[in-house]
Amino acid sequence: MFFRRMVLTYASLFVLAVGGSSSQIGVINSLRPLAGLLMFPIAGYLTDRTSRVRIIVLADILSGVSMLLYVLAPSWEWIAVGALVQGFMVFSFPPTSAILADSMKPENRGLGVATMGTISNAISMFSPYIAATILIMFGENIGMRLLYGMLGLQFLFAAVLAFKKLEDTNEINNSEPMPSVFTILMNTYGGVPGLLRDTPRSVVALGVVVLMGFISNGISSPFWVVYVTEKIGLSKIEWGVILLYESILKVVLTIPSGMVADKVGRTKTLIVAMIVSLVSLPALIFADSYNSVLLIRLGAALAGALFMPASTALMADYVPRNLRGKVMAAFGRGSVMIGASGGGTGGPGMGYLFVLPVMASSIVGGVLYNMNPVYPWYAVGIATVVQLICVLLFIRDPEKAQN
């Protein structure tokens, strides 16, 4: 997260620096989820049958090598190719999510997820500020290439760490022959109606909540840095400091939020998170100063701290261990970043059912921003209302959580 957040916070500025426009920022971000249509079903199948650790290691190695496309990019088209190639790396998400869910006891899942989030946020809290300093020193063109290079080295280090330290949590079954990719895809997409029918209503509703979060991020996340620097007039350093304060607050609140989710209930915690999100994120259209933007991002921190442990734990509570690869390939981990401020629209919360809507939202975001810079945040408000309605009407804590 330390290096990833440095890159994603200012990724849109790199596109502009090599000759792209706001519309092309939307196109680039729409390409990243495309490969998920192919990779998520395959990863879901392999996650329940083979070594999850080896899948994760392979993805990290390939991710590290693919960063060269960004480091050497002479134009925005190369960045687009890099985004498309990076999209294939999502095959690590289902095994990562399954290992996470398997490794925690049901009664402590909220706290466990919160602890993981706190560690990653604590490590990355200074990332936007450090990245802004690098961009000021070297310029947006050279500076972003340095950041992408560091991210590539981090992926290679993560591959070594995962290979040495991670342990598989499933029974590896090599007795069954591996079906063809075509067969896996046909069975997966042909089985979607049955999957939706057999999946608990709360899981489907949670999937809609997460999907709307991804759509919100697809529309708005690449343009936070563009809007606050070009329309409100903040400097890159000021934006980096705001994100630093946001990270500090999220670090402080995430573990207590996980404890609240375990003790008070996942659903009640989700409701509060959605209300805070609805009040804070769309308010950017009224912001006109450093302090107003800071207040909005602190609201995003509170909403994110509440949402992430509750939603991730709720997904694990509902899905049996032997089906987690299949279900999480479709619906993701059950969580999404609230008010993501970088250029990424994916993440471990993605599933193949989300790919086409997220792609469309990224393109729509560029179009809306070109029409009027405030339109993306109107769309965020609408999506958040849908999220809140889904939680209120359809999501309930299970009577007995899955191990």
Whether 180 is in a domain gets the answer no
**Mean pLDDT to the nearest integer, 130-149:** 94
The string of pLDDT tens digits covering residues 359-389 is 889 889 989 999 999 999 999 999 999 999 9
Structural domain range at position 30: 2-163+191-394
149: pLDDT confidence band, cut at 50, 70 and 90? very high
Whether 175 is in a domain gets the answer no
What phi and psi, each to the nearest 5 degrees, are found at residue 241? Answer: -70, -40
Whether 402 is in a domain gets the answer no
| Across 80-84, 125-129, 258-262, least confident range | 125-129
**What distance in Å separates the CA atoms of residue 136 and residue 216, rounded to the nearest whole number?**
30
Whether 117 is in a domain gets the answer yes
Whether 169 is in a domain gets the answer no
CATH number, residue 346: 1.20.1250.20
DSSP three-state, residue 126 = coil
Whether 329 is in a domain gets the answer yes
**Which residues, 6+ apart, have CB-to-CB distance to 306 below 8 Å?**
253, 257, 260, 261, 269, 270, 272, 273, 276
Whether 399 is in a domain gets the answer no
104: pLDDT confidence band, cut at 50, 70 and 90? confident
- In single-letter form, the type of residue at position 189 comes to Y
What tokens does 339 get? Answer: 């008010």
CB atoms within 10 A of CB 157: 13
- In single-letter form, the type of residue at position 52 comes to R
**What distance in Å separates the CA atoms of residue 64 and residue 121, rounded to the nearest whole number?**
21
**What distance in Å separates the CA atoms of residue 317 and residue 314, rounded to the nearest whole number?**
5
What tokens does 279 get? Answer: 């009040």
173: pLDDT confidence band, cut at 50, 70 and 90? low
**How would DSSP label each residue in 352-398?**
GGGHHHHHHHHHHHHHHHHH-TTHHHHHHHHHHHHHHHHHHHH----
278: pLDDT confidence band, cut at 50, 70 and 90? very high
The string of pLDDT tens digits covering residues 68-87 is 999 999 999 999 999 889 88
**Residue that the structure tokens 């990243």 belong to:** 32
290: pLDDT confidence band, cut at 50, 70 and 90? very high
The overall average pLDDT reported for the chain is 89
- Which position has the higher pLDDT, 42 or 260? 260
The structural domain count of the chain equals 1
The string of pLDDT tens digits covering residues 339-350 is 988 655 556 667
Residue-level pLDDT at 174: 64
Whether 171 is in a domain gets the answer no
- In single-letter form, the type of residue at position 233 comes to G
**How would DSSP label each residue in 303-333?**
HHHHHHHHHHHHHHHHS-GGGHHHHHHHH-S
What phi and psi, each to the nearest 5 degrees, are found at residue 337? Answer: -70, 135
**Mean pLDDT to the nearest integer, 143-158:** 96
